Amino acid sequence: MRNFHLLLITCALLVIFAAPARAEWRKLGTYRVTAYCPCARCCGKSDGITADGTYAPGCLGLIVAAPKGILFGTLLQIEGVGVATVHDRGGAISGSRLELFFATHKEALQWGVQERKVSMWVEP
């Protein structure tokens, strides 16, 4: 019985110390979020293809352009908006800036420029 307890304690310690850090939403702070659509006015082209080759209008989820330090495919939680996937870059998108993709130019204009708290999904 005593050995059994020791075994349990050993297992518990292994679980605590050997378990990898958990995936989590890491707060990045407040970002200045602008908006764009696939039109020529926003992109200088109108094929809808993002910097990583994604056909943006064909995506069901939200798409965001992020600075180079944030890898393509990264999930960003934008306060009040939801979770968007990084599929794009932009010349002006650096530092604490993001650009949210909208299907139409009208929607992008309606968004304008907004300050939003942003978190990044980080896996260990």
Phi and psi at residue 110, in whole multiples of 5°? -60, -35
- What is the closest distance, in whole angstroms, from the C-beta atom of residue 35 to Zn ion in the complex? 9
Q: How far is CA 93 from the centre of its chain?
A: 14
Q: How far is CA 72 from CA 1, 9, 20, in A?
A: 53, 42, 24
Look up residue 47 and give its DSSP letter: S
Residue 39 in contact with Zn ion, rule: CB under 5 A: yes
Q: Binding residues for Zn ion, how many (CB under 5 A)?
A: 5
With CB under 5 A as the contact rule, the residue among 31, 33, 34, 37 that binds Zn ion is 37
Find the binding residues for Zn ion in span 51-110 (CB under 5 A).
105
- Closer by beta carbon to Zn ion, 37 or else 64: 37
Phi and psi at residue 24, in whole multiples of 5°? -155, 160
- Closer by beta carbon to Zn ion, 50 or else 77: 50
- What is the closest distance, in whole angstroms, from the C-beta atom of residue 33 to Zn ion in the complex? 15
Phi and psi at residue 87, in whole multiples of 5°? -125, 0
- Closer by beta carbon to Zn ion, 27 or else 45: 45
Question: Which residues of this chain interact with Zn ion, rule CB under 5 A?
Answer: 37, 39, 41-42, 105
